[in-house]
Structure 1
Amino acid sequence: MSDRRSEESSGGEPSSSISDEVWEQFLQDTERDIRKSAPKEPSARAREVTERLKRQKAEPEGWRTGPAWQERNGRAARRRRVWAVVGVPLAIAVAVVAMRPSLLPGDPFGSSSGTDTATAPLPDETTTPTAPPSAVAPDTPTLAHPFAGSPALRWADGAAGIVLPKATALGAIPKDRVELALQQTRKLLVDANLNPAVVAGGTPEAALSVLDPKQPGVLDNLRTSLRSPSKTHNPLFLVSRFDPKDVKQAGKIVKVRGRITFAKGKYQGVAVHADYTFVYPVVRADGSTEVTRTIVRRVIDAELPDPTRYQVTSGRLTLLRYDEDAGNSTCGIDDGYLHPQFPSQALAQDPTGSATASGPPVDPYDRSRDIGKEEACSKVSRT
């Protein structure tokens, strides 16, 4: 390039007005551009990388090369970072659950000890049982789980356990009269055994209202027994009550199981047969949290007689039979209240929970046996 400039300068024509410095810079820039555009021989390292990339193009994406592998590696890194954050709290939670599995909702490990939530309710009782309920795993009742260790755990709650059969006509007795007899009997059972105010020592006014005042020696005797209980006038034959100074209910639920049937009665009316067991969890009124249970079974035969043939009050029940059997209630106390004993008391007194109990032990949950035939105060095999 420098020779060409010399020739042009000596050719007789005026020389260029470009200075030497500018011309020298032009030459340097031109040479640099030529070197950049010239083909280069790849290095050995570059050739090796190029060859490996060619081979990888022939392999399935996601095996160990290409974007899929890089994406998986990125996700794994993110997962590792997340586990690093939650790992410590999770480890603590696992340790707590291992020590207290009951903290988990439901019953994921198939263990229902101490809980009332893991058992399905029994279907309604429709016939007389042929045997007592099966034994259940022993468990201590608590305020949170007052029916733990009891067959009643699977029984219905409160009035939901008193299910009436479908009313039908009985010959000349119309269906609506049968329905009335059933409803009056249910009202009697619910108020006398499930009304919280009555269970706490009150008077079952609704129950008394369904009884015929014209029936000699029934309604008047019941009112006397409620007002001034004694050995000969005891409301417990028909009403479940606890002395509020001594005990109170543990929770609001009373477990109930039984059945009710109807047929044409001997007084040309609707005869109703009711057989129910009520399970009451209670605690002492002094603030103790120790829970025990009293089990009361009642068998009642009542009739809604034909008012056109008998001197009765229309729509009121005539009581024909009312038997009661109480499990875990101290014998020999005639103050009109049930008196359960607690496990701590049994250590120093009668371990059966009945101070003067006699005879062979009786299962208070056994609804296959008749009541009213055994000793007046029997030992109980379980509560």
Structure 2
Amino acid sequence: MSDRRSEQSSGDEPSSSSSLPDEVWEQFMRDTERDIRKSAPKEPSARAREVTERLKGRKGEPEGWRTGPAWQEMNGRAARRRKGWALVGVPLAIAVAVVAMRPSLIPGDPLGSLTGTSSDPDTATSALPAETAAPTAPPSAAAPGSPTLAHPFAGSPALRWADGAAGIVLPKATALGVIPKARVELALQQTKKLLVDANLNPEVVAGGRPETALSVLDPQQPGVLDDLNTSLRDPSRTHDPLFLFSRFDAKEIRPAGKVVKVRGRITFEKGKFEGVAVHADYTFVYPVVRADGSTEVARTIVRRVVDTELSDPAHYRVTPGRLNLLRYDESAGNSSCGVHDGYLHPQFPSQASTGGADPTGPSIDPYDRSRALDEAPKGCNVVSRT
């Protein structure tokens, strides 16, 4: 099966990322063929001498040159980490103070019409513009409110965020030196396809297999697909699909509505391995209910940082058009810590703890995108809001 066919989604992937523009793909393939022709040997012995000379002459190249980007540095696998932010702990005094300072935030407040505040939690604020740089502070307090089936984002800063794949806004592709614009566009589109299927495809979020996300990854990258397939087949602490995929157990949890709120940014630059390096940093907010028929709504907030590279097949033994996965970090707010069954486990206000490790770290705001993910305190922390 060709790369193009294998990239089709098996779930309800939003149409905005279901396929690449034909002209982008055709331009990429022309560029790839041109580069390969330029570097093609006249005879095998000449090719062998060329590789030997390159290896001798490029002292800065990693040991894995011609066999894959610096796999020796990562023990053959992409770097990955996961942090858990477990329970909700919002001090009552904070809510009281907010209302004291802004009485118009009281639901149904008669002053709302004078202050411009609406009592409808879904129309109280306008949508935020796309994020183009790291914020300098956490989002301000949202209007008080609790999530319901009718208003699953009430009381959340995510109310102003974009819906689903519309929140993953790609920057305008430009050439990077000798790397053509078409290859940059392909790297961006493939990374978006990975993010959408891994975090927004309803079938994947319900515990299904992320076929489209897996299809954009290079099967020649040592260990990566093996690790991900192992995590999906037999989850454990060291092989956890939540490292890269957002998943709930459909027997226990169901979505509260069809909308997942998304905020973040994606950037690109020339990579270390003669290709296009893409950096993505996004937060996804999932409103959910229990599958037992309860109408109580809770929210789980997942932040992901993913680094990919579309390496140059003229310089590395890679699959044209497929991404190398260099790093993937994840943190989950309002999900039990210490549970490694491959699913997020949100806590509901009316429920006692459903298991997992007790939070031991300081309070964390899962909506705070102003600091790097690896700067968050280690361990299992209480979240200040959901």
The normalised TM-score by structure 2 is 0.69
Q: Which residue of 2 aligns with 1:120?
A: 126
Query: Which of 183, 186, 197 matches 2:189?
Result: 183
Q: Which residue of 1 aligns with 2:381?
A: 378
Q: Give 3-state SS (helix, strand or coil) of 2:184's partner.
A: helix
Q: Which moved more, 1:110-119 or 1:202-211?
A: 110-119
Q: Which residue of 1 aligns with 2:360?
A: 358
Identity among equivalent positions (%) equals: 75
Q: Give 3-state SS (helix, strand or coil) of 1:299's partner.
A: strand
In the alignment, structure 1 segments of 5+ residues that lack a partner are 1-99
Q: Which residue of 2 aligns with 1:225?
A: 231
Q: Which residue of 2 aligns with 1:369?
A: 371
Aligned-pair CA distance for 1:320: 0.9
Q: Which residue of 2 aligns with 1:337?
A: 343
Q: Which moved more, 1:220-229 or 1:113-122?
A: 113-122
Aligned-pair CA distance for 1:377: 2.2
**Residue 271 (structure 2) pairs with residue 271 (structure 1):** no
**Residue 288 (structure 2) pairs with residue 282 (structure 1):** yes
Aligned-pair CA distance for 1:111: 4.2
Aligned-pair CA distance for 1:118: 2.8
Distance 1:292 1:164 in 2: 30
Distance 1:257 1:218 in 2: 27
Query: Which of 307, 314, 331 matches 1:308?
Result: 314
User: Does the 8 A contact of 2:347 with 2:353 survive in 1?
Assistant: no
Distance 1:335 1:174 in 2: 43
Q: Which residue of 2 aligns with 1:56?
A: none
Equivalent residue pairs, number:
276
Q: Which residue of 2 aligns with 1:164?
A: 170
Q: C-alpha offsets along residues 304-361 of structure 1, whole Å, 9 cap, x if unaligned?
A: 011111111111100111000100000111000000000011xx449xx975222111
- CA change 1:323–1:101 in 2 (3 A) is closer
Q: C-alpha offsets along residues 167-206 of structure 1, whole Å, 9 cap, x if unaligned?
A: 0000000000000000000000000000001101101100
Q: Which residue of 2 aligns with 1:319?
A: 325
Q: Which residue of 2 aligns with 1:72?
A: none
Q: Which moved more, 1:315-324 or 1:132-141?
A: 132-141
Q: Give 3-state SS (helix, strand or coil) of 1:344's partner.
A: coil
User: Does the 8 A contact of 1:113 with 1:148 survive in 2?
Assistant: no
- CA change 1:376–1:188 in 2 (3 A) is farther
Query: Which of 227, 231, 241 matches 2:247?
Result: 241
Distance 1:113 1:294 in 2: 25
> Which amino acid is the alignment partner of residue 380 of structure 1?
V
Name the structure where helix makes up a greater proportion of residues.
1
User: Does the 8 A contact of 1:178 with 1:270 survive in 2?
Assistant: yes
Looking at both structures, which has the greater relative contact order when contacts are Cα pairs under 8 Å and sequence separation is at least 6?
2
Distance 1:138 1:198 in 2: 32
Q: Give 3-state SS (helix, strand or coil) of 2:198's partner.
A: helix
CA RMSD, Structure 1 to Structure 2 (Å): 1.8
Aligned-pair CA distance for 1:101: 6.7
Aligned-pair CA distance for 1:232: 1.1
Distance 1:144 1:260 in 2: 31
The normalised TM-score by structure 1 is 0.69
**Residue 297 (structure 2) pairs with residue 295 (structure 1):** no
Distance 1:325 1:286 in 2: 27
Distance 2:119 2:347 in 1: 23
> Which amino acid is the alignment partner of residue 278 of structure 1?
F
Q: Give 3-state SS (helix, strand or coil) of 1:191's partner.
A: helix
- CA change 1:118–1:135 in 2 (3 A) is closer
Q: Give 3-state SS (helix, strand or coil) of 1:186's partner.
A: helix
Query: Which of 240, 263, 269 matches 1:257?
Result: 263
Q: C-alpha offsets along residues 219-241 of structure 1, whole Å, 9 cap, x if unaligned?
A: 11101111111111100000000
